[in-house]
A and B are shown apart, each in its own frame.
Chain A
Amino acid sequence: MATRVGVVVFPGTNCEHDALAGLEVAGARGTLVWHTETQLRTMDAIVIPGGFAHGDYLRPGALARFSPVMEAVGRFAAEGGPVVGICNGFQVLTEAGLLPGAFVKNRGLKFVCAPTTVRVEVTHSVITAGLEPGTRLCIPVNHFSGSYVCDERTLAHLRASNQVILRYLDNPNGSIDDIAGIANDAGNVVGLMPHPERAIDELLGSADGLALLRAFVSSSACVRAG
């Protein structure tokens, strides 16, 4: 049976269908999970997709983190379940305290939609498992508040414990230490600003995102089996 991935939808989320499409190409079966849901037990993995949850009003992720589903996501993550937040999903995860740090407006103070090149730094996270460190992937970003910030201690910790999983080669937003994606200590909760689901087909300009999505789907299958 295919890996079942719950794709969380807040009011204002807009990349949920794209995430479903990406997961499907990567071999998983995605299901939309409305933000009022409190049970995720039937899921093997969770994706929090991009968009503008609650309009991004106040701050990206600030209101979404109080949606009922986030408590369930917290439990799911605490039990070792794979959770990936893409773009707005990453912002939600930091607001919810499931990942460290915060986001501020892009350097340049403008929304940026553009292809970027990221380098895979470490491979113990659910989204980079099995990839070669140093692999370069061409994946687009699409955000206004995409500049990752954290205090020095957090940064030192992220580095020391190999939690920086992706770095930009052409930092589009001013993120500290060129961080494009991080994982928690255990590697099962991941946030990344680039949109791998937008790079799943050469027809769209790149299929590099599939490497990440496939890694995610197969490591989710492992978690379930194990």
Chain B
Amino acid sequence: MSVRAAEEPLHRALGLTDDELDRIVGLLGREPNALELALYGVMWSEHCSYKSSRLHLRRLPTAGDRVLVGPGENAGVVDAGDGIAVAIRIESHNHPSAIEPHQGAATGVGGILRDIFTMGARPLAVMDPLFFGSPDDARQRWLVEGVVSGISSYGNSVGVPTVGGELTFDSCYSSNPLVNVLCLGALPVDRLVLGRASGAGNLAVLLGAATGRDGIGGVSILASAGLGGGSGADAIKRPSVQVGDPFEEKRLIEACLALLDAGLVLGIQDLGGAGLACATSETAARGGVGMDVDVSSVPRRELGMAPWEVMTSESQERMLAIVTPGAWPAVEELCRRWEVRAAVVGTVTDDPSGRLRVLDRGAVVADVPASSLADGAPLYDRPLREPAGLDARRADDPTFDAPAGDSEADLCALLCDPSWVYRQYDSQLFLNTVVGPGADAALLRLAGPGLPPSERGVAITTDSAPRWCAIDPRQGVALVLAEAVANLACVGASAVAVVNCLNFGNPEHPEVMWQLSETIDGLAAACRALELPVIGGNVSLYNESTGADIDPTPVLGVLGLVEKLRRRPPGMGWVDGDASTVVLLGARRAPGALGAPGAPGAPGAPSPAAHPLGGSTWAVTCRSRRHGALPPLDLVAHREVVRLVTRLVADSVGGGDGLLDAVHDVSGGGLGVALAEMAISGGVGVRVESLEGHRELFSELPSRIVVATRRPDELVGRARDAGVPAELVGVVGGSRFVVDGLVDLGMDELAAVWSGALRARLEPV
């Protein structure tokens, strides 16, 4: 690195292109000094500026009746009713987790929490979609173990329950695991606060941990360029991994919420990527004001830090608050009470061009327009190209592969109980968790310290389908949104808003940009069809290993609301007793397909298949077949099924007469896995008749929800009225799991396979 630095001009070493340097010179009307260049380097990085994705993100629909704050702030906020607003945000911490899984994941949790309480919301729940390579490899097990323990140790200690997530294994993540973290918080509507500075003469106050040389990473090139910093060559070797301190964060949460409750803060912003450089320039730019920051006032953890180190450090657990000079003594006092460090590090100025000036003991060492850092990065319209051979891949469909194989063994191979992961998470704190991890969606009471009383509930789910998105990102992401909305319906919640984390490969590869663009178009269209706004998100690019990009992995978090939460929803487990009947809601066969077993299918002319298997979990896991045509999705029909189920479940959750004994959507692993999970969860067997072979057992055709009821006639009537197809498929009871002609297993065996699957892979020996 130092060799490169010697040969390379400084701006390139800092990650800026020659054109970007020219742009900076144009903005400033002069050459930037080294510190200024460092500020642009971090602020114009892909991570901070979204320069490759911003043009595309604009195509997402963001408006909605309930939306109080859309994308662009630290978190999206919706009005949940009863004077309560809900804030939500999702983020990735992929790259740090790849080299130090425990701390990488832990600091990911810390960062997402700050995004929530910076809005004035108390963080109430976390979810963690995770993606790794095959757990049969020891390094992957080390990653899984470390990431899960990192989330567990930080989340549990800071006192925010982790109520769900996802766990995906695929070789494309071998050198680049994905660690996404979603956080949901709630606030009294009138405590909503934004990250902006205002009022010349007001103070910029740094709260929380002392600043060290954490995560300076790429910028540490400055040290080797001979531009100061007491650390010299040491800094270059310094890893850009930070150690999280949940105890500091816990105090910081309490202190910040207390400051906001007391009305002592005008604006507040967390310090995340690019540290103080980002927090000061963004708050100033959003408020249209200037700011002076004196680095010598910043409490340090280490000796001899240079101004660029202080400005770009990514030390964790810090916040920047804007307060009036009159309020400062009260702020200090409150912070002392919570044992949180507070220091005035700057002042808001009325500089007409909104300049950020960095001072060192009074001497100006950098002077640039704040908005040029925060919003001035060039937006790239990078070239797009559809990956070669996609049509051929879609045509290479496994649906009519012969022979069918052993369906019983296949079903067992698809069963997996993720509780190995979520038992390590406190999922219950705050006494809100009505449905925790292990179900279709988490369902929480909308309550917390300081919130107005309410009977409402809030539901949340995260979903993804990278295999589908690799075949067809546009259709794939629509299927993901459809599944998420169905998941919410299963706990009686209506979807109200979407956040997304777009994990993609290298944007300099036109194929990756095409995937990104297609994903955004697919998400935008699906959101419009379902009338859902996107209220926030995060883009993580450069997820690749040795030149190979990961499968496109958009992860969606969807928020739902329940009007009255008085009783637990039926859940996925059915109950024994007087013959509960299993009913499949939604079209049993793909539209346009003939429906006869094995119908129109010679290999090579697979479509329309009644029970498509392209891209299915079965095809990938049991047959190593990654390609094929995605199942069709009719969002209008989907909406009807989802509405019906939401109504039925919401009715029983609200205290009404429950028509359903159990409910679960058909997703990964198809009907077979859905039925098996319902049986295992209820501890009661089932007899399912006349399925159309293994295809119907494993197809992941969307828009289907399985329910159990003791009043099938009434249910079928309700479905007919709603225009939703409904078919009786089996009868609950006994101690065997039977799908005629395909599977016949004792419940004990089935449950043992399910509960042992993950442990066996993660803890061999």
Known: A18-B431, A203-B567. A52 touches B423 (CB 8 A): no
Type the 1/0 row for A98-124, where 1 means its CB is closer than 8 Å to any CB of B: 000000000000111110000000000
A-binding segment of B153-161, B510-518, B641-649 = B153-161
Please tell me if the beta carbons of A204 and B434 are within 8 angstroms of each other in the complex. yes
Q: Which residues of A from 54 to 70 have beta carbons under 8 Å from B?
A: 54-57
Please tell me if the beta carbons of A201 and B159 are within 8 angstroms of each other in the complex. no
B-binding segment of A9-17, A89-97, A127-135, A152-160 = A9-17
What chain A residues lie within 8 Å of B156 (beta carbons)?
A: 52, 111, 113, 142, 144
Query: Smallest CB–CB gap between B573 and chain A, Å?
Result: 13
Select from chain B the residue with minimum beta-carbon distance to A55: B247
Known: A51-B159, A52-B156, A140-B428. A112 touches B423 (CB 8 A): yes
Type the 1/0 row for A1-21, where 1 means its CB is closer than 8 Å to any CB of B: 000000000011011011001
Known: A110-B423, A111-B153, A204-B428. A52 touches B246 (CB 8 A): yes
Known: A17-B430, A111-B156, A203-B565. A57 touches B425 (CB 8 A): no
Q: How far is the CA of A195 from the CA of B433 in the complex (A)?
A: 14
What chain A residues lie within 8 Å of B72 (beta carbons)?
A: none
Q: How far is the CA of A197 from the CA of B429 in the complex (A)?
A: 10
A-B pairs with beta carbons under 8 A, tally: 85
Please tell me if the beta carbons of A113 and B423 are within 8 angstroms of each other in the complex. yes
Please tell me if the beta carbons of B157 and A203 are within 8 angstroms of each other in the complex. no
Q: Which residues of B from 416 to 461 have beta carbons under 8 Å from A?
A: 422-431, 433-434, 445, 448-449
Select from chain A the residue with minimum beta-carbon distance to B145: A110
Known: A140-B428, A203-B568, A204-B434. A11 touches B152 (CB 8 A): no
B251 CB-CB contact with A under 8 Å: yes
Please tell me if the beta carbons of A203 and B424 are within 8 angstroms of each other in the complex. no
Please tell me if the beta carbons of A111 and B425 are within 8 angstroms of each other in the complex. yes
A200 CB-CB contact with B under 8 Å: yes
Please tell me if the beta carbons of A197 and B431 are within 8 angstroms of each other in the complex. yes
What chain B residues lie within 8 Å of A111 (beta carbons)?
A: 149, 152-153, 156, 423-426
Q: Which residues of B from 226 to 256 have beta carbons under 8 Å from A?
A: 245-247, 250-251
What chain B residues lie within 8 Å of A200 (beta carbons)?
A: 431
A214 CB-CB contact with B under 8 Å: no
Select from chain B the residue with minimum beta-carbon distance to A114: B423
B191 CB-CB contact with A under 8 Å: no
A202 CB-CB contact with B under 8 Å: yes
Known: A203-B567, A205-B568. A11 touches B424 (CB 8 A): no
What chain A residues lie within 8 Å of B245 (beta carbons)?
A: 55
What chain A residues lie within 8 Å of B339 (beta carbons)?
A: 11
Q: How far is the CA of A140 from the CA of B436 in the complex (A)?
A: 13
Query: Smallest CB–CB gap between B492 and chain A, Å?
Result: 13
Other contacts beyond A11-B338, A56-B157: 16, CB < 8 A:
A11-B247, A14-B250, A17-B430, A17-B449, A51-B159, A52-B246, A52-B247, A52-B250, A55-B246, A110-B424, A111-B149, A111-B425, A112-B423, A112-B424, A203-B434, A204-B434
Please report B residues at the A interface, Cβ cutoff 8 Å. Answer: 149, 152-153, 156-159, 245-247, 250-251, 338-339, 422-431, 433-434, 445, 448-449, 565-568
Please report A residues at the B interface, Cβ cutoff 8 Å. Answer: 11-12, 14-15, 17-18, 21, 51-52, 54-57, 110-114, 140, 142, 144, 195, 197-198, 200-205
